[in-house]
Structure 1
Amino acid sequence: MQLLDLTLPDPAVNLALDEALLVSAEEGTGGEVLRLWEQPTHAVVVGSGGSVVIDVNLSACAADGVPVLRRASGGGTVLLGPGCLCFSLVLSYARAPGLNEIPASNRYILARIVNALKPVVAASVEGTSDLAVTGVKFSGNAQQRKRKFFLHHGTLLCGSDLALVAKYLNPPERQPEYRRDRAHGDFVTNLPLRAEEAKQLLIAEWRPEGDYAPVPLPQAHALVAEKYSRVEWNRRR
């Protein structure tokens, strides 16, 4: 596994780069990678099967110029921006038993994230793929899968402006049982550490060896043109 600590200024390119890393691994031009990034401006990102109309406060986003994008993985709608550390893992199914199955791979990865955060919080896995402290969520996760490799990406709230979550996101179409119909402000929280500190904890847990290269930026930009910049993709539901 190699490390890619790289944030790009445009949210669509950031999403596309995650997918490009997965495609590169699948095609044999890349491999396992831990990518860390923190979107410098706010953006709403809907899961591949999510509903923009239901999950997003489109009028608030339009008024503030917050883009609404769709990623290629599943999971719920999230607000990215300063204070929201994104981690992306491209892993081979051959790395550990059970990684070819979504529930087992979630357990494997989230157990390691919980272990990484032990010096700071006693976290637990909640719902399908959330991480929480005493039932309050600080991390959501999702996956995209190919034949030999899969992409698991998630968020860690580390100083995010949580009031903006309620401003730009509606109550979700689907919610885990442990949420118990709580409003966004009662359901999400920040970890008691900065994003840079969270990065170091993840690096210490996963122990990547060297920096990832070459970065598939041409492939990412091609994916933006083909998919992530298109209304047909982002507003298809």
Structure 2
Amino acid sequence: MQLLDLTLPTAAENLALDEALLESVDDQPGAAELLRVWECPQWAVVLGRSGKVAEEVFESRAGDVPILRRTSGGGTVLLGPGCLMYSLRLSYERRPHLRALDQAHHEVLTTLAAALNRKLPDANVRPRGTSDLAIGERKFSGNSLRCKRNFLLYHGTLLYDFDLSRIESLLRPPPRQPEYREERPHRDFVMNLALSAGELRQALIAAWQANEILQDWPRELTERLLRERYEQPAWNFER
């Protein structure tokens, strides 16, 4: 698997790059699988594809924090320092079973949980809900996916040194909650992992055997998607 350890200057650029990494190869079934790791350099609210700003964000409190929308599903997240992001581009040609969404969630999340449990043997990291990773009843990772014809993009968050108070100040209680949350507020539901960014990177790379450094990335497509989508209020606030 290829590895791209790259963070672009803004949250919008990073979302555009994630999409470009999927779109740029979807007409090439034999293209390489890829792991990308990055960490958002600024605070940013990111809605899922069908999320509604009015239902999920305290917009009046956002100030200069951008509100953006990704192309994958799932709930709204807050990105920023102390939250390591990962993105996987997985091939249906190599892994046809991933066309079943429950199998996609299971494969990625159990792989990640096993890698983190090797770093934290007493933690008992495990998948919870549809697409969370948690220790006990507290979540530290939310994940989502987007399916194309030949590839799947699976990406998510790993909180390790995040200012958790910022979540409650900017995000409303989500309209859809996993049963294990039991309607707890963000402050009682979300936690940081006791690992460093470097340790998390090592765990991800080892888990996916991402040993081939990607020498180039789709710059022109990233820039086009940024202009046409992620910098456009019509996209970010469409619902």
TM-score between both structures, scaled by the size of structure 2? 0.95
- Structure-1 residue corresponding to 2:44: 43
Q: How many aligned positions are there?
A: 235
Pairwise CA distance, 1:221: 0.9
1:131 aligns with 2:133: yes
Query: 2-side partners of 1:130 and 1:169: how far apart?
Result: 17
The question of whether the paired residues in 1 share the 8 Å contact of 2:205 and 2:211 is answered with no
The question of whether the paired residues in 1 share the 8 Å contact of 2:27 and 2:150 is answered with no
Query: 1-side partners of 2:26 and 2:5: how far apart?
Result: 21
1:105 aligns with 2:107: no
| AA partner of residue 73 (structure 1) | S
- Structure-1 residue corresponding to 2:6: 6
Pairwise CA distance, 1:97: 4.6
- Structure 2: runs of 5+ lacking an equivalent: none
- SS of 1:15's equivalent in the other structure is helix
- Structure-2 residue corresponding to 1:149: 151
The question of whether the paired residues in 2 share the 8 Å contact of 1:24 and 1:30 is answered with no
- Structure-2 residue corresponding to 1:226: 228
The question of whether the paired residues in 2 share the 8 Å contact of 1:4 and 1:36 is answered with yes
Query: 1-side partners of 2:225 and 2:32: how far apart?
Result: 19
Query: 2-side partners of 1:13 and 1:177: how far apart?
Result: 34
Query: 2-side partners of 1:157 and 1:186: how far apart?
Result: 15
Pairwise CA distance, 1:232: 0.8
Matches within 5 A, 1:9-24: 9-24=9-24
For the structure 1 residues 30 and 81, does the alpha-carbon distance in structure 2 shift closer, same or farther, using more than 3 Å as the test? farther
Pairwise CA distance, 1:30: 5.1
- SS of 1:115's equivalent in the other structure is helix
- Structure-2 residue corresponding to 1:209: 211
Deviation readout 1:213-232 (Å, 9 max, x if unpaired)? 32112111100111111111
Deviation readout 1:18-68 (Å, 9 max, x if unpaired)? 010001221339531100000011000000011111100111112xx1000
Runs of 4+ in 1 over 4 A off after TM superposition: none
The question of whether the paired residues in 2 share the 8 Å contact of 1:3 and 1:34 is answered with yes
Deviation readout 1:173-232 (Å, 9 max, x if unpaired)? 211111111000001000001112101111111111321132112111100111111111
- SS of 2:226's equivalent in the other structure is helix
- Structure-2 residue corresponding to 1:27: 27
TM-score between both structures, scaled by the size of structure 1? 0.96
- Structure-2 residue corresponding to 1:52: 53
Matches within 5 A, 1:67-146: 67-118=66-117, 119-120=119-120, 121-146=123-148
Query: 2-side partners of 1:198 and 1:37: how far apart?
Result: 11
Identity across the alignment (%) = 49
- Structure-2 residue corresponding to 1:175: 177
Cα RMSD after superposing both structures? 1.2
Query: 2-side partners of 1:96 and 1:148: how far apart?
Result: 10
